Amino acid sequence: MHLRYDPDEWRPTQGHARLRATTDRLKPNSILVWDRQPYRLIEVRERDEVDWPQNYRDAWVKHGMPDPTTWSYRPRVAVLRHDDQPHSKPLHLLCPNSTYWYVLPEHYWVCRRCQEVPPCRHVHNEAVMERASERMEEEMAILPGACHGCREPITKRQKSFTFPGPNLIRPDLGDGSAIFHTRRSCYGSLDSYDKRWAAAEPDRERLLYCPHTLTEHSNGSSECSSPACLADGREEGLVQHAKWVRHHPQLKAGQGCWCLAAAAA
């Protein structure tokens, strides 16, 4: 599993507020953040299976219809009341059991003007805009023929990959100008652009990802379960596969793979 960090995603700035807990781990009387406001948790209720919304039913079927009482995505109801309004009407929020919540300490602060848990929308939006401006300045500094990941020039001896069509980072450079080193240090940027490139048009498939299984034999050869694998014609190791299987010579000869059987013969 790859952990993803988005600097533009809102999160509390208070030290202890970085504590996150899933719905099943919440304790009554905890202070949770909802819509950037502090709410006191009254209780978490189970939702009877017959009352599940259709989208939860569809997800349950898609996940193989596990035990509804222990399914991590089952819908539950979190009953909250605004912490500064003890006599207000409680909120009943339907959410998956695996939902993550920000938990505040008993001593927390809010924005004087907005009454929101910091950073308030105003401050947060300003920070997002500032980062966007910085990214734009960095992107506009990319020179033609330079790697769009590390920003360094790509020499004739260095391996690279160029995406067809409009440049999604620097449109002013023209079609076929989005180029990246294929070395390990630039692969993260290359992979991110591949996802962005595929999402730019409906039904467009990624160029560096195969949804099938790659099998690596003990003799060093490899093959994909799809005869039309995108890896054919690409630099070795450049295309990622959804699944990867490797046959080890230590396995008993004659079992599991033709290459192992051939080695035993």
pLDDT of residue 257: 61
Terminal Cα-to-Cα distance of the chain (whole angstroms): 40
Residue 264 has a pLDDT of 43
Mean pLDDT of 241-262: 63
pLDDT of residue 263: 44
Q: What is the pLDDT of residues 90-105, one digit of tens each?
A: 999 999 999 999 999 9
From residue 211, alpha-carbon distances to 41, 236, 241 in Å are 42, 17, 6
The model's pTM: 0.57
Between the CA of residue 8 and those of 16, 84, 125, what are the distances in Å?
20, 28, 9
Please check the confidence at residue 254 and state whether its pLDDT lies above 60. Answer: no
Pull the structure tokens for residue 248: 């080890």
Average pLDDT over residues 206-234: 82
Cβ neighbors of 32 (< 8 A, separation 6 or more) are: 26, 38, 39, 40, 41, 78, 80, 101, 102, 103, 104
Distances (CA, A) of 167 to 84, 93, 119, 126, 164: 50, 43, 34, 27, 8
Residue 238 near residue 230, CB atoms below 8 Å:
no
> What is the tens place of the pLDDT at every residue in 55-114?
999 999 999 999 999 999 999 999 999 999 989 999 999 999 999 999 999 999 999 999
Mean local confidence (pLDDT), 249-262: 53
The confidence score (pLDDT) of residue 262 equals 44
Q: What pLDDT score does 1 carry?
A: 35
Q: Name which CATH class applies to 15-122.
A: mainly beta
pLDDT at 251: 52
Peptide bond into 119 cis (omega under 30): yes
Residue 265: per-residue pLDDT: 40
| Cα distance between residue 150 and residue 197, in whole Å | 18
Question: Which pLDDT score, from 0 to 100, does residue 228 have?
Answer: 83
For 151-198, the DSSP string reads: -PBPPTTS-EEEE-SS-SS-GGG-TT-EEEE-SHHHHHHHHHHHHHHH
Identify which has the larger pLDDT, 226 or 43: 43
Residue with token string 């299984």: 213
Residue ranges of the domains in the chain? 15-122, 144-205, 208-265
**Per-residue burial over 95-121, b = 16 or more CB atoms within 10 Å of its CB, e = otherwise:** bbbebebbbbeeebebeeeeebbbbbe
pLDDT of residue 256: 54
* pLDDT-above-70 percentage for the chain: 89
| C-alpha 242 chain-centroid distance | 15
> What is the average pLDDT value for the chain, to the nearest integer?
86
Query: Residues 136-152: what's their mean pLDDT?
Result: 90
Q: What is the CA radius of gyration of the chain?
A: 26
**Are the beta carbons of 139 and 169 closer than 8 angstroms?**
yes
pLDDT for residue 260: 52
Torsion of CA 120, 121, 125, 131, to 10 degrees: 40
- Give residue 17's pLDDT band: very low, low, confident or very high (50, 70, 90): very low
Residue type, 254: G
CA distance 243 to 123: 43
Of residues 90 and 238, the one with the higher pLDDT is 90
